[in-house]
Amino acid sequence: MIRDDIKAAQVAAMKAGDKEKLAAIRLILAAIKNRDIDARTGKAAGDDDALMVEVLTKMAKQRRESIDMYDKGGRAELAAQERGELAVIEDFMPAMMSGDEAKAAVVKIVADLGAAGPKDMGKVMAEVKARHAGKIDMSTVSGIVKAALG
């Protein structure tokens, strides 16, 4: 399970004295703890690994946005710190589909749903997210779906 991998990595980082990695792992564990609290109060529920992927995906997206803003603002040291955190986060995420695999998955879903045009884009996007959440970059899927339906 992803949760166990994260805890094992925390122990390994402590033993190795890797302060940057340990700090990033603690951020991940804090986000997971918040998600667990939400799940207990009834705001969210589901498969543990799916929840972990959701938390990690959200954290990765935040880091990418921060890196972009820091690069534009000329803050290389902060961008480098965010890149380090992003690398640690991505270590725990499942492998993402390649571009060709994503295209094949979208084409299959379009065929399965019988989608014919741009009006079916929302339906196709929802099905892609349902079938491949955490394994496919949804920001790139939009363009693939437009091309498949256009």
pLDDT digits (tens, 9 = 90+) for 5-24: 999 999 999 999 999 999 99
User: pTM for this one?
Assistant: 0.72
Residue 87: predicted pLDDT? 94
Q: What are phi and psi of 85, to 5 degrees?
A: -65, -40
Residue 139: predicted pLDDT? 75
Percent of the chain with pLDDT over 70: 96
pLDDT digits (tens, 9 = 90+) for 35-57: 888 878 765 555 677 788 888 98
State the average pLDDT for the chain: 87
63-91 average pLDDT score: 95
Domains, the chain, ordered by start: 2-92 (1.10.1510.10), 99-149 (1.10.10.410)
Residue 144: predicted pLDDT? 86
